Each structure stands twice: as C-alpha cells, then as structure tokens.
Amino acid sequence: MLRFFVNKLLLVLPTLIGITIVAFAFVRVLPGDPILLLAGERGVSPERYHKLLVQFGYDLPIWQQYFNYVIGLLHGDFGISISTKRPVIDEFLARFPATLELSVFAMTFATVIGIPAGIISAVKRSSVFDQLTMGVALTGYSMPIFWWGLLLIILFSGMLHWTPVSGRIDLLYFFPPVTGFMTVDALLSGQKGAFQSAVSHLILPSIVLGTIPLAVIARQTRSAMLEVLGEDYVRTARAKGLTPVRVIGLHAFRNALIPVVTTIGLQVGLLMAGAILTETIFSWPGIGKWMIDSISRRDYPVVQGGLVLIAGIVMLVNLIVDLLYGLINPRISHQ
C-alpha cells in the first residue's frame, strides 16, 4: 500500500516540475521586453532599466533564473501583480473561496440530480424516462454554458425577477469576511435576509457551472449501473427475494459507485474551465474571472502565478482521487 502511495507521488513530481517550466516559459516567450512591460506606458530611463534588470534577475543565465523562480515558488512567492502591486498569492487566496463555494454548490447540484437520474435510467432501461434523461444529458453535455447562463439570466432575472443578475450578495449587506464563503459569513453575521440573498445569488451560477458535470455524472452512473446490474451477485440478490430497493441500493449501487466517484473527482479540471466562463457571465469575483481579467489587462505575473496555482490544485485533487480509488479498490493498488 505504501509503495502504491509513494509511486503515485513520484509520478506527480515530473508533471509538477513541468507545470513550473510552462509557467516560467510563458512570460519569457511573450512578445516584448519584460521590464518594459512592467514599466508600462511611461517607459524607463536606461539606468533604471539596468537596475530593474538586476533586481528581477533577468541578467542571470536562463537556468539560474528558472532555479530562482522555483525557489521563490517553494517559499510562497508567486510574483507581484502589476495592476494592484499586491502579492499574487494574497490575491489568489482572497478570491479562491468564492470559486470554491460556487464549485461546491455546482457539484452538489450535479450529484444530487445526476446520480438518481442515472440509476433510474439504468433500472428502467429503454423506458421513456431513460430516453428523455439521456437526451437531456446529451443536450447538457453539448451546452455552450456561457450562452446557457445568459438565457437563464434573461428568463429568471429579466422576465421573472426571481434571481439577481450578478454578484455574490446584495449591496445592502456588509460584513467582514471570516471564512470567505458568503453563505457561511452571512449566517455568522446574523443579519436578517443576508443568507437568503447569498443563496439566491448562487442559484443561477451553480446551475450553469453544474450543467456539464450533471450530464457527465448521469451518463456515467447509468453505464456503471448497467454494467453492475448484469453481474451474478445482483442476480443472486434478486433470486434471494430481496426487495428491488435493497438490490439496487445496496448491492448494485455500492459497486457502481467507484467509477462514479472517480468521474466526480475528475470533473475538477473541467470545473475550473467552466468557472472562467460562469464567473465572467455573473461577475462572480472568483479566480476564473480574476484570470480572464488579468489576461486582458496583460497582468502577466498574475497569469503566471495563477497558472501554477490552478494546475497545482487540479493535480492535487486528481492525486487525492487516485489515492482514494486505491483505498476503495484494493485491486488497483496491488498491481
């Protein structure tokens, strides 16, 4: 078991190094001089230029620059934002809870609907419900979510006035962030209506971000269940005269769960790509919007730092899923 864990960790290491190389190279291959980019429109005098060159270590050989960059990363130095002059890591940590909160809501929405829908589809294979669900799932999978978000805004915010158009909470409410999660902070603040406001702001973005995962989970649950339902032990359980609920819930679903859990875990990368679009549409102040704003503002240190942080998080979650998979399914870890 330990060897399995160590092996997995060793496999991750080269990728992690690769990520830092990509991020490091990104700024170097950009057209234009990095110092002039930093200086902005006004430009710099030759003396100041040279001073900055030495200060940022651009006069060193390239491998030494990379080495210093990695040492910096290990010390938590992800660069300084050009536009705000604040450390990238601070900006990241300030926005990350917003994205995390949205992702948690989106994944909850996707799982709570996707898994039961998938199970019923598998059990009632080829029924009207099955065909309808799979049709909807494929539509959801094909959805341009940036358009889907706009449509929901037109319908629920524009026509029905049920939900707010953008942001995390009404401007009426103000309280210091404690956890960074708006729903939790709203409850902690004790202000009347704050929690409802926070939740109502979360509904549409969660649906939009959760749509593709929902489709993937429903399809995956269905095919995993179909595979399991044909197994001998399920037939045995049926033959023993167990109720269908017991057979499906206890015997079949628990075995179908493993690939489904893996699928859910592997959605993280997809979720980050979706967060960029969802946060842009709903002006959600998370890391997705932060990244796209920084790209259009040419705030390259932020893009560089954000790349490493986001890829690092995605890798970490995938690694945890991998390890959990080994724990749930001992057959994997002994290979």
Partner 1 sequence: MSEQALPGAPARTINGRRQMLAEFWHYFSKNRGAVTGLVVFILLVLIAVFAPLLAPHNPDQQFRDHLLSPPFWQDGGSLTFLLGTDAVGRDILSRLIHGARFSLFIGVVVVTIAMTGGILIGLISGFFRGWLDTLFMRIMDIILAFPSLLLALVLVAVLGPGLINAMIAIAIVYQPHFVRLTRASVLSEREREYVISARVAGAGVLRLMFITILPNCLAPLIVQGTLAFSNAILDAAALGFLGMGAQPPTPEWGTMLAEAREFILRAWWVVTFPGLAILITVLAINLMGDGLRDALDPKLKQS
**What is the total count of residues that contact partner 1 (CB under 8 A)?**
44
Please state the closest distance from residue 8 (CB atom) to partner 1, in A: 13
Residue 199 interacts with partner 1 (CB under 8 A)? no
Q: How far apart are CA 70 and CA 237, in angstroms?
A: 56
Residue 102 interacts with partner 1 (CB under 8 A)? no
- Per-residue contact string for residues 148-177; x = within reach of partner 1 by CB under 8 A: x-xx-xx--xx-------------------
Q: Is 180 exposed, middle or buried (0-12, 13-18, 19+ CB in 10 A)?
A: middle
Q: Is 267 exposed, middle or buried (0-12, 13-18, 19+ CB in 10 A)?
A: buried
Three-class DSSP category at 77: coil
Please state the closest distance from residue 330 (CB atom) to partner 1, in A: 24
**96 contacts 313 by C-beta, under 8 angstroms:** no
- Per-residue contact string for residues 120-139; x = within reach of partner 1 by CB under 8 A: ---------------x--xx
Would you say 142 or 335 has its CB closer to partner 1? 142
Q: What is the CA radius of gyration of the chain?
A: 24
Which residues in the 255-274 window bind partner 1 by CB under 8 A?
A: 269-270, 272-273
Amino acid letter for position 27: V
Residue 70 interacts with partner 1 (CB under 8 A)? no
**Which one of 32, 61, 144, 190 is in contact with partner 1 (CB under 8 A)?**
144
Residue 194 interacts with partner 1 (CB under 8 A)? no
Residue 19 interacts with partner 1 (CB under 8 A)? yes
**Which one of 8, 30, 34, 191 is in contact with partner 1 (CB under 8 A)?**
30
Helix (H) or strand (E) holding 253: helix 253-281
Would you say 15 or 243 has its CB closer to partner 1? 15
Q: Would you state the structure tokens that stand for residue 164, as one six-digit string?
A: 């707010």
Please state the closest distance from residue 16 (CB atom) to partner 1, in A: 8
- CA separation (Å) from 262 to 117, 129, 318, 325? 18, 26, 9, 7
Name the segment binding partner 1 (CB under 8 A); options: 12-20, 41-49, 67-75, 84-92: 12-20
Residue found by looking up tokens 């490091």 in the block = 24
Helix (H) or strand (E) holding 16: helix 2-29
Which residues in the 314-333 window bind partner 1 by CB under 8 A?
A: 314-315
Residue 335 interacts with partner 1 (CB under 8 A)? no
Q: How far apart are CA 162 and CA 166, in angstroms?
A: 12
Please state the closest distance from residue 187 (CB atom) to partner 1, in A: 31
Would you say 49 or 156 has its CB closer to partner 1? 156
Q: Kindly report the number of other CB atoms within 10 A of residue 318's CB atom.
A: 17
User: Which residues have C-beta within 8 Å of that of residue 109, sequence separation ≥ 6?
Assistant: 206, 207, 210, 214
Q: How far apart are CA 23 and CA 15, in angstroms?
A: 12
Q: How far apart are CA 200 and CA 160, in angstroms?
A: 14
Please state the closest distance from residue 97 (CB atom) to partner 1, in A: 19
Would you say 29 or 172 has its CB closer to partner 1? 29
Q: Would you state the structure tokens that stand for residue 259, as one six-digit string?
A: 């690939």
Footprint on this chain of partner 1 (rule: CB under 8 A): 14-15, 18-19, 21-22, 26, 29-31, 135, 138-139, 141-144, 146-148, 150-151, 153-154, 157-158, 269-270, 272-273, 276-277, 280, 291-292, 295-296, 298, 303, 307, 310-311, 314-315
